Amino acid sequence: MSAAEQIDLVGVVGGGQMGSGIAEVAARAGCDVVVVEVSQELADKAVARIEASLQRGVSRGKLTAEEAADTVGRLSASGSMADLADRQLVVEAVVERKEAKLEVIGALAEILTDPTAILASNTSSIPIVELGAAVGQRSTNVLGLHFFNPVPVLSLVEIIPSLLTSESVTERARSFVVDVLGKDPITAPDRAGFTVNALLIPYLLSAIRMLEQGLASAKDIDEGMVKGCAHPMGPLRLSDLIGLDTVLGVAETLYAEQREQLFAPPALLQRLVSAGRLGRKTGHGVYDYD
C-alpha cells in the first residue's frame, strides 16, 4: 500500500470490550482514532477504558509511559457519528444483532465523505453480504474485520469479503491489518460464523450442555480441557470472557443458517443471558467474578 493509500484516519463505532480494544491497537499503531458511542458520556468511558488498559501495559513493561501518552493523544471520543465523516476506515463494533449493525452501516454510508472509505464490521457471525446489500453503491466497500478478544493481545483478524466486496478494498484492508496494525489475518468465507466461530461455538455449547445435564462440574470441565488438552482456558471461562450474550447471538445466527443441532443454544445459556449473567463484563456468568 503506497503512502497515499495508507489508512491512518480510523473510526470505531461502539466502545465496549471489542470496540475499545480495536481503537487501542489502531491508536498504538499511529492512527488518528475517533471512538463513537450513543452518548458523549459513554464515549468518554470507552476512552477511559483504553487509558486503563494502556496503564496496565506500562506496569507490565509492554510499553513506556511516553508511548501510552502518545497513544491517548491520538484518541478522541464522540457521541455523534457525524464526527466520522473524514475517516478512511470505520469499524462497527456494536451489539451482535443484525438490525443494530445494519443501522450503523447504513448511517456510515451516508456520512463518510471519502468514496473509497472502508466500512468494516467486527461481527462474529452475521453474513457480510447482508450488511453490504443494504447500502447500495457502497456495498463494494463493505467487508468483515473480525478481531478477537482481548484485541491488544491476540494477533488474529479474520478478513471476510462478501460477493459484493471489491478486490481492491479487500487488499487495502489486508494491508492495514498487516502493515499498520501488525496483526495476522486469515481470509474467512462469508458464511455464518466464518471460520473460527463455526468451529468454536459448537465446542462452547457442548461444554454448556454438559454442565446443564449435570455430567460434570464447571471446574472439572474447564480443568479437563486446560490440563488434559493444553488449552489456555477452559470452554466455560472462555464463554464468560467472550460474553454469554455474544455466544448466544452467534449460536442463534449459526443455527438459523445451518439448521444443525450442534449450533442450537442450550436452555441454560438462554437462562443465564435472560438473568443478566453475561460473564466477566457483568461480574456474573457461569462463574461469579465479584
Claim to verify: residue 32 and residue 143 sit in the same structural domain: yes
Q: Note the Cα 162 to chain centre separation in Å.
A: 18
C-alpha cell at 279: 460473564
231 is catalytic: no
Please tell me the total count of domains within the chain: 2
Active site residue 146: yes
Element (H, E) at 236: helix 235-242
Both 153 and 203 in a single domain? Answer: no
Are residue 204 and residue 171 in the same domain, yes or no? no
Is the full-model pTM beyond 0.85? yes
Distance CA 179, CA 216 (A): 45
pLDDT at 235 exceeding the cut of 50:
yes
The mean pLDDT of 238-244, rounded to a whole number, is 94
Give yes or no for a contact between 165 and 132, defined as CB atoms under 8 angstroms apart.
yes
- Pair (30, 69) in one structural domain: yes
The catalytic position among 37, 158, 162, 239 is: 158
- For residue 243, give the CATH number of its domain: 1.10.1040.10
DSSP 8-state code for residue 13: E
**151 contacts 22 by C-beta, under 8 angstroms:** yes
How would you class 131 by CB atoms within 10 Å of its CB: exposed for 0-12, middle for 13-18, buried for 19 or more? buried
**Domain boundary residue, one of 165, 187, 209:** 187
In a domain, 290, yes or no: no
3-class DSSP string for 64-108? CHHHHHHHHHCEEEECCHHHHCCCCEEEECCCCCHHHHHHHHHHH
Q: Any catalytic annotation for residue 284?
A: no
The answer to whether residues 177 and 223 belong to one domain is no
Which residues constitute the domain of residue 37? 9-187
pLDDT, one tens digit per residue, over 96-132 is 889 999 999 999 999 999 999 999 999 988 899 999 9
Q: Is 141 a catalytic residue?
A: no
Contact partners, residue 242, CB within 8 Å, separation at least 6: 149, 204, 279
For residues 170 and 230, state if they share a domain: no
Whether the pLDDT of residue 93 is over 50: the answer is yes
- Kindly report the backbone phi and psi dihedral angles of residue 134, in degrees, each rounded to the nearest multiple of 5, phi listed first: -80, -5
Q: Which of 92, 197, 239, 284 is catalytic?
A: 197
Position 22 scores a pLDDT of 98
